[in-house]
Amino acid sequence: NPALTQFGDKMSHLTGVRAIMKDIKETLQAGVGQQYINLSPGNPVILPEVEELWREYTTELLNGQDFGNVVCRYGDSQGYEPLIEAVVNFFNQRYNLNLTNRNILITPGSQSLYFYATNAFGGYTSSGKLKQIVLPLSPDYTGYGGLTLFPEALFAYKPALDIDTAGHTFKYRPDFSKLNIDESTGCVLFSRPCNPTGNVLTDDEVRKIAALAEPYDIPVLIDSAYAPPFPALNFTEMTPIFGGNIIHCMSLSKVGLPGERIGIAIGEEKYINVLESFQTNMCIHSSRYGQAIAARAIETGMLADIATSVIRPYYQKKFTVVESTLDEAMPKDLPWFLHRGEGAIFAWIWFEDLPITDWELYQQLKQVGVIVVPGSSFFPGLREDWKHKQECIRISLTATDEDIETGMRRLAKVIQDVYKRG
């Protein structure tokens, strides 16, 4: 094995869910002949209407004048100009903003955007001070766990819980009595809607977090990978919030382009400039083919349309299948709680006082042919001992209705046994 630097060592390990995905892949491969119900994928479903939309814009690009310019040349590291223009026009019109092209950065996927931001704003300053990357509401996206070279810089806050005991539902809330944002903070980051929980922070909660960071000029990155206007995977009312110290971060992965790797940041020029230079040093720019077809889909309004007419209803219906099957199949006298389904492509279930760990539950579910994701990998940066971390699982809404139903029924049986055995 080659000798590695601290950085090399950190980056050569898989974190969080990527490590579990390896186990899942091996399970699926080893179980040839055994039918697994796979409720783990984070990969979106290929919806025929969405695939067709991208096929049409690709055909247009292939036949158009601009093809050579798009594919055969390097471009500006800020992004492909027509895409930037489309984003500026679309957002100005829809949300009544005054964006200029200096407020936009296109990145190869939004994951890379978080990599730039957390390393530019979080970690050690030249005078040796530690700037924290604050996750105001844990659990949150597992991918935040692998971003920084300095694990001590990542700091997540334990949430408050709103529990509806009779209804077997709950919701995480930021605990403002604990949340500390001050000169030791480098940036703030959260997903809204949230992967894995489906939580949507309220507009008020977002404004409150941004206001805490504002006096220190701390950027607040709002990971909007599931937010309106596209993919619009919110099942509850929510307003995207822009301006000031907020960097609104989007991804085209859940509108059918995960393979093209397109992320979009919208924010004040002073932040965008920092991120753009980071990007130039790292990879020059994002692939221009994906950017070119995205420009057309945004400009025509088709992307926003298909999000609300096709993508949102598809996943929203899946959530109701989870909800109704659990209601019917799960024992009423056990303390299970489904997180309120406010968005994203997952359902999140908490089993209070679960007699085994989430990892053991994951193994037992494998035994009955159901694969879920154990919840403990979704608490990056949360150092506190908290049993709740080992009491949750994530269910993907990408499976068929039948698979979700069967999976939830088997889960109900396993859970009953687990609590009975104690």
Residues that bind ligand PLP in the complex, under the rule CB under 6 A: 42, 109-111, 141, 143, 191, 195, 223, 225, 251, 253, 258, 263
Closer of 181 and 262 to ligand PLP (Cβ): 262
Closer of 38 and 251 to ligand PLP (Cβ): 251
Q: How far is the CB of 108 from ligand PLP (least distance, A)?
A: 8
Q: How far is the CB of 252 from ligand PLP (least distance, A)?
A: 7
Q: How far is the CB of 151 from ligand PLP (least distance, A)?
A: 19
Tell me how crowded residue 98 is: count the other CB atoms within 10 A of its CB.
8
DSSP state of 188: E
User: Position 276: which residue type?
Assistant: E
Give 288-291 contacts, CB < 8 A, sequence gap 24+: 288/70, 288/71, 288/73, 288/75, 288/80, 289/61, 289/70, 289/71, 289/260, 290/252, 290/257, 290/260, 290/261, 290/262, 291/70, 291/79, 291/80, 291/83, 291/106, 291/262
Closer of 131 and 192 to ligand PLP (Cβ): 192
Q: How far is the CB of 98 from ligand PLP (least distance, A)?
A: 26
Q: How far is the CB of 166 from ligand PLP (least distance, A)?
A: 31
User: Position 409: which residue type?
Assistant: R
Q: How far is the CB of 94 from ligand PLP (least distance, A)?
A: 21
Q: What are phi and psi of 389, to 5 degrees?
A: -60, -30
Q: Map tokens 């597992």 to a residue.
A: 142
Closer of 82 and 258 to ligand PLP (Cβ): 258
Q: Are 113 and 143 in contact (CB under 8 A)?
A: no
Q: For residues 226 and 237, what is the distance between their CA atoms, to the nearest angstrom? A: 13
Structure tokens at 84: 């930037």
Closer of 40 and 325 to ligand PLP (Cβ): 40
Q: How far is the CB of 226 from ligand PLP (least distance, A)?
A: 7
Structure tokens at 293: 């077809």
Closer of 194 and 412 to ligand PLP (Cβ): 194
Half-sphere exposure of residue 234: CA atoms within 13 angstroms, side-chain side: 20
Closer of 181 and 233 to ligand PLP (Cβ): 233
Q: For residues 115 and 137, what is the distance between their CA atoms, to the nearest angstrom? A: 19
